[in-house]
Structure 1
Amino acid sequence: MVAPGARARGWAAATKMAQRRRHAEGAKGPRILSPRASRAGALWPYCEKRCSYCNFNKYVPRGVEEAAMRSCLVTEAQTLLGLSGVRRVDSVFFGGGTPSLASPNTVAAVLEAVDRAAHLPADSEVTLEANPTSAPGSRLALASVLYLALSPQSLDDKELQLLGRTHTASDALQTLAEARRLFPGRVSVDLMLGLPAQKSGPWLRQLQELLGYCDDHISLYQLTLERGTALFTQVQRGTLPAPDPEVAAEMYQEGRTVLREAGFRQYEVSNFARNGALSTHNWTYWQCGQYLGVGPGAHGRFVPQGAGGHTREARIQTLEPDNWMKEVTLFGHGTRKRVPLGELELLEEVLAMGLRTDVGITHQHWQRFASQLSLWDVFGSSQEVKALLVQGLLLLDHRGLRCSWEGLAVLDSLLLTLLPRLQEAWLQSAPSPGQGG
């Protein structure tokens, strides 16, 4: 059995990994995934106000030269699409920052640029992140998007004030109603848990209320206190109580039970969908598809043209918007850092990201990245892994390796066992010096 404290720590760590994922894919920047049939996106790095919990790459400017930002987003998207050899884009995700603050002209310009550089089918998944107070119906209706990702975070006005949000619970519900009118069946919402002094009962009532208004996709994210944020400072100084990980674990467990009873499938640690409303964009990310980060501070993973088709790179774009725009103007893109990924690093990503989903890692998917080392080779004989199988937290069978419903809640704790075993197996399979291979 896994002790309650371990469950709480596992959920807290797993959720922090989810928020780091959001850094890379949305809040820190958009992404273009998979080189031939790919995902694409663009970042709008500006916000009206920095929330008290946020340490993402966001800026609150006095004024924004939107035409210049638009031009650079278009240029970098075209440059990186060309560099990656992408020929088809299946989804476009506009992240931020607060991309709903950008004009519809900017959204349209990026879509047109992607279509010129690579084919953009009419049924591509086009998604825009929005805060409730920055998404008036007139703007949304003209934004040329098909899906909307709203971030109310809470339906309690005191909690919203604590988080530094600029909207009220009433604002959130009004915007959600308008969004559902414009995008029926295609609106996703975020709800945060684990705030200082937050209790499970009132939070569950928020979730139940949200179920009366929401569409078919909900994300549950636990607050993590990050250095440099106002909330972190308040907790460090003792003016706010530290969030209770046991209470957060209880919220998560009860929340996912409520969602399951409401017909939602937990298809990823923090994401729930019904009626087939999964985010295909993020699904490809969890499957370790290649992706390009476009915009200030964006992260990417892809194999550049001319690299022999083997070396996958991790790329980070310049953080500061002004410096990023100067680099894009000079070089066509603002890539600040390029790091080649070794085979073991890639396998670690495949393991950690794939197990976030309810499908897990199939044998066929694993073999795409490790043709000489099967899942059975890595995990089949490990006594520690067998113990996790007996506990019902993991499954290893003819389909592949995956977490059970209970195991998803403590994924990060499971990875403490699985990652060292992968590293050991990979080192044992690697040829000795002088053997070649």
Structure 2
Amino acid sequence: MCCAFLQVARCKLVNHFRPFLLLGHGLSTQGRKTLSRKISSFIETEAEENNPETKVGVYIHWPYCARLCTYCNFNKYVIQKVDQENMEKSLLKEWKTLRKKYPRLKIRTIFFGGGTPSLMKPDIVESLIREISGGNYENLEVSLEANPADVNNNVAVFKLAGVTRLSLGIQSFNDRFLKLFNRDHNSLIAKQSLVKCLSVFGGHVSADLIFGAPGQTIQEWRQDLEFTIKQGVNHISTYQLTVERGTQLAKDVSSGKVQLPSDNVMTEMYLDAVQHLEKNGLYRYEISNFSRPGFECNHNIGYWNGGQYIGLGPGAHSRIGYGANRIGTINHPSPEVWKGQVDRLGHGVAKETKLDIDTVLGELLATGLRTSQGIEASVWNKSSQNKIAYHQFIKYLNNINSRNQQSTEVFGVNGDVSDTFGTDDLCGLIWNNENIKILPSHLSIADHVIVNVYSHFLKCIKLIND
């Protein structure tokens, strides 16, 4: 009976079969009521566990670094001694406050970012994973950003602590560029660290690489890619070096001390990486991220698909809910201010905002169109809660596109339009009734395409509201 009961319950057909389950088993009236309650509770639990709207990722920001990289404008601090136990206490207190505020959410991923979270004591990492997961580690992805200079001695310990995936900030295997970036490792340490991390975490290691450094040639960039691929890495993130205001790099570029490669060279480096990585089995699933199938970062996919996430720590952001009920929060960036407020209020939130549909869908367009899959109709409608349905936006795009005299439609086997290719300022965009995305050939200029799409999106909203 037990096996039959579980099978029927999991198939969500218990209500239909309940009378048959309750007959002929010698149960008293009270016993039948108790079993009925248990079946109902089981069904509700199953539905809750499988409800995508209860899934959430947790981001933990560790803001401390051993030194400042010349290009980085993240929320980070260099201090001589970090009271790690006090940080742990504050992070746990903030988590418990938010856990109480959002009791229905189910943890699907945890991501330690920074800063340099590999400077954390492994037992603190373990404590946070245990408390946040509630001890439920099944199918839980736990990523930790690691620095080659400080992770070597703790690689195995981090895995024992519950980390399932390492994101290794190599940036380059060229000592000239590592020095320019003010990294605290050299090429030898970078190579040794990558090999060590792979030996412990197997295929669940991601390598971060930067291209477009001053004086860098395409050949030097390709050498970094080739070495990484040869080590058997299953995930590589490639980032174009950008000049961020307030950084040392910005000062050096402004003064003429260094000069970045031209835009044409930057584009050539990126496209060369795309071709080389895909040739070696790492497909581009987001503009900057390449992976072998099955080794994608699920935490980041949650961001790009407009999912929910809770941010813990100084400067962390959160997005909870969907549609008109979506809430955005930003924590105080200063560790001391954040910790002080956590002590008083249980959380470090500096600002909480109820997001309007324009913002919710605008964020989805900005992130979802950067992926190779694009934005599925179901994801759009979940994010909008049908306030602005996917088919309404597609209808608007079709009307705009039809003004061009040139045919841009691809017909399916039954003569139905299966895909529409954008023209004019929507060039590079493709859509149908299932999803909207940017063509692979245009992903290198995705930011330009997204700006144009967002402009049309705002016009569409105005027409709908008028």
The equivalent residue for 1:135 is 151
Is residue 126 of structure 1 aligned with residue 142 of structure 2? yes
The equivalent residue for 1:154 is 172
Cα contact 1:36–1:88 (8 A) shared by 2: yes
Is residue 190 of structure 1 aligned with residue 208 of structure 2? yes
Amino acid at match of 1:173: K
The 5 Å alignment of 1:265-284 reads 265-284=283-302
Aligned CA distance change for structure 1 residues 403 and 321 (closer, same or farther; 3 Å): same
Matches of 1:176 and 1:200, distance apart in 2? 22
Deviations 1:198-227 (A, max 9, x none): 221211122112211242000010111111
The 5 Å alignment of 1:219-258 reads 219-258=237-276
The 5 Å alignment of 1:212-223 reads 212-223=230-241
Paired residue secondary structure (2:422): helix
Please report how far the alpha carbon of residue 400 of structure 1 lies from its aligned counterpart in structure 2 after TM superposition.
Answer: 1.5
Paired residue secondary structure (2:312): coil
Cα contact 2:155–2:197 (8 A) shared by 1: no
- 1:259 aligned to 277, 293, 318, which one? 277
- 1:358 aligned to 356, 364, 372, which one? 372
Is residue 321 of structure 1 aligned with residue 335 of structure 2? yes
Aligned CA distance change for structure 1 residues 385 and 261 (closer, same or farther; 3 Å): farther
Matches of 2:321 and 2:83, distance apart in 1? 33
Paired residue secondary structure (2:302): helix
Amino acid at match of 2:207: V
Is residue 389 of structure 1 aligned with residue 422 of structure 2? yes
Matches of 2:333 and 2:74, distance apart in 1? 10
Aligned CA distance change for structure 1 residues 37 and 284 (closer, same or farther; 3 Å): same
Aligned CA distance change for structure 1 residues 289 and 97 (closer, same or farther; 3 Å): same
Please report how far the alpha carbon of residue 102 of structure 1 lies from its aligned counterpart in structure 2 after TM superposition.
Answer: 0.5
The equivalent residue for 2:360 is 346
Cα contact 1:187–1:214 (8 A) shared by 2: no
Cα contact 1:267–1:358 (8 A) shared by 2: yes
Unaligned 5+ segments in structure 1 are: 1-33, 433-437
Matches of 1:396 and 1:311, distance apart in 2? 27
The equivalent residue for 1:171 is 189
The equivalent residue for 1:16 is none
- 2:435 aligned to 397, 400, 404, which one? 400
Please report how far the alpha carbon of residue 68 of structure 1 lies from its aligned counterpart in structure 2 after TM superposition.
Answer: 0.4
Cα contact 1:194–1:245 (8 A) shared by 2: no
140-149 vs 191-200, greater mean Cα deviation: 140-149
Is residue 290 of structure 1 aligned with residue 290 of structure 2? no
Matches of 1:243 and 1:227, distance apart in 2? 18
Unaligned 5+ segments in structure 2 are: 1-51, 409-420
Cα contact 2:215–2:261 (8 A) shared by 1: yes
Q: Bigger relative contact order, structure 1 or 2, given CA contacts below 8 A and separation 6+?
A: 1
Matches of 2:251 and 2:156, distance apart in 1? 36
Amino acid at match of 2:217: K
Cα contact 1:35–1:85 (8 A) shared by 2: no
Paired residue secondary structure (2:399): coil
Deviations 1:285-331 (A, max 9, x none): 10011111110011111149xxxx94322211011111111111111
Paired residue secondary structure (1:356): coil
Aligned CA distance change for structure 1 residues 384 and 244 (closer, same or farther; 3 Å): farther
Amino acid at match of 1:123: N
Deviations 1:325-350 (A, max 9, x none): 11111110100111221111111112
Query: When the two structures are aligned, how many residues end up with a matched partner?
Result: 392
Paired residue secondary structure (1:135): helix
Deviations 1:103-146 (A, max 9, x none): 01110111122134xx7332200111101011024454343211
The equivalent residue for 2:20 is none
The equivalent residue for 1:427 is 462
Amino acid at match of 2:328: A
Is residue 101 of structure 1 aligned with residue 119 of structure 2? yes
Deviations 1:213-247 (A, max 9, x none): 24200001011111111111011111111442211
Aligned CA distance change for structure 1 residues 317 and 204 (closer, same or farther; 3 Å): same
- Aligned identity (percent) is 33
TM-score, with length taken from structure 2:
0.80
Matches of 2:377 and 2:314, distance apart in 1? 37
52-61 vs 205-214, greater mean Cα deviation: 205-214
The equivalent residue for 2:449 is 414
Cα contact 1:194–1:223 (8 A) shared by 2: yes
Aligned CA distance change for structure 1 residues 195 and 35 (closer, same or farther; 3 Å): same
Comparing both structures, which one devotes a greater share of its residues to helix? 2
Matches of 2:403 and 2:337, distance apart in 1? 48
Paired residue secondary structure (1:380): helix
Paired residue secondary structure (2:325): coil
Please report how far the alpha carbon of residue 390 of structure 1 lies from its aligned counterpart in structure 2 after TM superposition.
Answer: 5.3
Deviations 1:238-263 (A, max 9, x none): 11114422111110001110001001
Paired residue secondary structure (1:241): coil
150-159 vs 243-252, greater mean Cα deviation: 243-252
Paired residue secondary structure (1:410): helix
Is residue 88 of structure 1 aligned with residue 106 of structure 2? yes
Matches of 1:64 and 1:282, distance apart in 2? 28
Paired residue secondary structure (1:188): strand
Amino acid at match of 1:359: Q
Please report how far the alpha carbon of residue 397 of structure 1 lies from its aligned counterpart in structure 2 after TM superposition.
Answer: 1.9
Cα contact 1:151–1:190 (8 A) shared by 2: yes
Matches of 2:105 and 2:319, distance apart in 1? 17
Paired residue secondary structure (1:263): coil
Paired residue secondary structure (2:314): coil
Aligned CA distance change for structure 1 residues 385 and 330 (closer, same or farther; 3 Å): farther
